[in-house]
């Protein structure tokens, strides 16, 4: 349909230039982003930041920021998102709440095409202060420069302990996954002042307090395929037409066709 419209206006060079501007708005890219929780752990709403190097969610071995603490303990991304550098394009992707194991959600989001780096974090459920994310930003420039249809998938397997609470299922907003139906308020667990560290032990949930009856922690193994290789979160990003551009091109095309019929 789009090709047909463009072919129909080949006799009007000025119109082609106008359409070209509409098809490729300067300095913007529209991305279709899917976040999945492909394993047997859940994810709280995920925060993605597209930036130019001015954003860094965390450093392993350093204390978590207040924003990362809230993300990791409660699944609330608002404080971290609000703290990010001006000029970054930031989006929280939820699924009507947590991403329960096996679920995904997709959004379409416009970014500046100079924001070629991605930082990501999402709380791991049913923990009370663990998260997945990338310590160092990921280069997504090939998706932007590749144009429409360019796509890539990023897998996340490294789990980090924010170091801000003692491990306790009672304070996890996702502990319904393991059968706890009367949780305490997330974020109100016993505070700790540890640095951010990689969770790389076997049976990672084995030492949590307030395990529910019949819960078998050994069904969880973040590192079954080697540390970081068990896929706990997956993000697929595809360069797609901007919805506003599609509408404008369609309107412009129809208008041009109409004029040609009248002439
Ligand atoms: Ca970092
Ligand atoms: Ca902890
Ligand atoms: Ca807390």
161 vs 165: CA distance, rounded Å:
9
Chain centroid, CA 52 distance in Å? 17
Q: Which percentage of the chain shows pLDDT scores above 90? A: 70
**What does the domain layout of the chain look like in residue ranges?**
27-242
Average pLDDT over residues 212-231: 90
Among the bound ligands, name the one nearest to the CA of residue 124.
2
Task: Give me the pLDDT at residue 217, please.
Answer: 94
- CB of 192 within 8 A of CB of 150? no
Check: CB of residue 165 under 8 Å from CB of residue 147. Answer: no
CB contact at 8 A, 60 and 135: yes
Least confident of 18-32, 120-134, 137-151: 18-32
Span 32-88, pLDDT tens digits: 999 999 999 999 999 999 999 999 999 999 999 999 999 999 999 999 999 999 999
Whether 241 shows a pLDDT value over 90: the answer reads yes
Instruction: Note the pLDDT tens digit of each residue in 155-184.
Output: 999 999 999 999 999 999 999 888 888 779
Question: How far is residue 14's CA from residue 238's CA, in Å, rounded to a whole number?
Answer: 31
Comparing CA positions, the residue from 36, 37, 5, 38 lying closest to residue 23 is 5
Q: What is the pLDDT of residue 105?
A: 96
Kindly tell me if the per-residue pLDDT of 250 is higher than 80: no
- The reported pLDDT for the residue numbered 163 is 98
**Ligand minimally distant from the alpha carbon of residue 59:** 1
Q: What span, in angstroms and rounded, lies between the C-alpha atoms of 155 and 35?
A: 10
- 240 Cα–ligand 2 center, Å: 39
- Dump the DSSP string for 21-71: HHHS-TTEEEEEEEEE--SSSEEPPEEEEEESS------TTSPPPHHHHHH
The confidence score (pLDDT) of residue 231 equals: 95
Residue 33 and residue 94 in contact, taking contact as beta carbons nearer than 8 Å: no
Say whether pLDDT at 262 is over 50.
no
Class of domain 27-242: mainly beta
Residue 247 confidence class, pLDDT cut points 50, 70, 90 = low
Mean pLDDT of the chain: 86
User: According to the model, what pLDDT value does residue 246 have?
Assistant: 59
pLDDT above 60: residue 253? no
**How would you classify the pairing of strands 159-161 and 197-198?**
antiparallel
Bigger pLDDT: 21 vs 181: 181
From 85-94, 130-139, 162-171, 223-232, the region with the lowest mean pLDDT:
223-232
Ligand nearest to the CA of 56: 1
Question: What is the structure's pLDDT at 84?
Answer: 98
What distance in angstroms lies between residue 196's CA and the mean position of ligand 1's atoms?
11
Residues at Cβ < 5 Å from ligand 3 ion: 73, 165, 187
Q: Is 232 helix (H, G, I), strand (E, B) or coil?
A: coil
Is pLDDT above 80 for 4? no
Q: Model-level pTM?
A: 0.84
Ligand having the closest approach to the CA of 73: 3
- Angle at alpha carbon of residue 61, lines to 58 and 63, rounded to 5°: 60
The ligand whose atoms approach the alpha carbon of 120 most closely is 1
State the distance from the centre of ligand 2 to the C-alpha of 164, rounded, in angstroms: 6
Strand, helix or coil for residue 112 = strand
pLDDT bracket for residue 17 (50, 70, 90): very low
* Tens digit of each residue's pLDDT (9 = 90 or more) over 179-221: 888 779 999 999 999 999 999 988 999 999 999 888 999 999 9
């Amino acid at each position: 349909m789009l090709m047909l419209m463009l072919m129909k206006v080949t006799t009007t060079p000025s119109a082609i230039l106008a359409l070209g501007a509409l098809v490729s708005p300067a300095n913007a890219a529209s991305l279709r982003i899917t976040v999945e929780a492909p394993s047997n752990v859940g994810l709280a709403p995920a925060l993605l930041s597209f930036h130019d190097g001015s954003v860094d969610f965390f450093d392993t071995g350093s204390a978590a920021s207040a924003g990362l603490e809230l993300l990791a303990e409660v699944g609330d991304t608002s404080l971290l998102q609000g703290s990010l550098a001006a000029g970054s394009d930031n989006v929280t992707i939820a699924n009507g709440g947590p991403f329960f194991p096996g679920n995904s959600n997709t959004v379409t989001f416009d970014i500046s095409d100079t924001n070629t780096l991605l930082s990501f974090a999402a709380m791991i459920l049913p923990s009370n202060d663990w998260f997945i994310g990338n310590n160092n930003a990921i280069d997504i420039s090939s998706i932007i420069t590749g144009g429409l249809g360019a796509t890539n998938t990023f897998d996340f397997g490294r789990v980090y302990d924010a170091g801000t609470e003692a491990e306790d299922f009672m304070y996890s907003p996702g502990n319904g996954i393991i059968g706890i139906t009367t949780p305490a308020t997330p974020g109100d667990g016993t505070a700790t002042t540890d640095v951010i560290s990689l969770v790389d032990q076997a049976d990672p949930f084995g030492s949590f307090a307030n395990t529910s009856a019949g819960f078998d922690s050994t069904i969880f193994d973040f590192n079954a395929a080697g540390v970081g290789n068990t896929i706990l979160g997956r993000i697929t990003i595809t360069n797609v037409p901007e919805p506003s551009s599609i509408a404008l091109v369609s309107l412009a095309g129809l208008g041009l066709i109409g004029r040609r019929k009248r002439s």
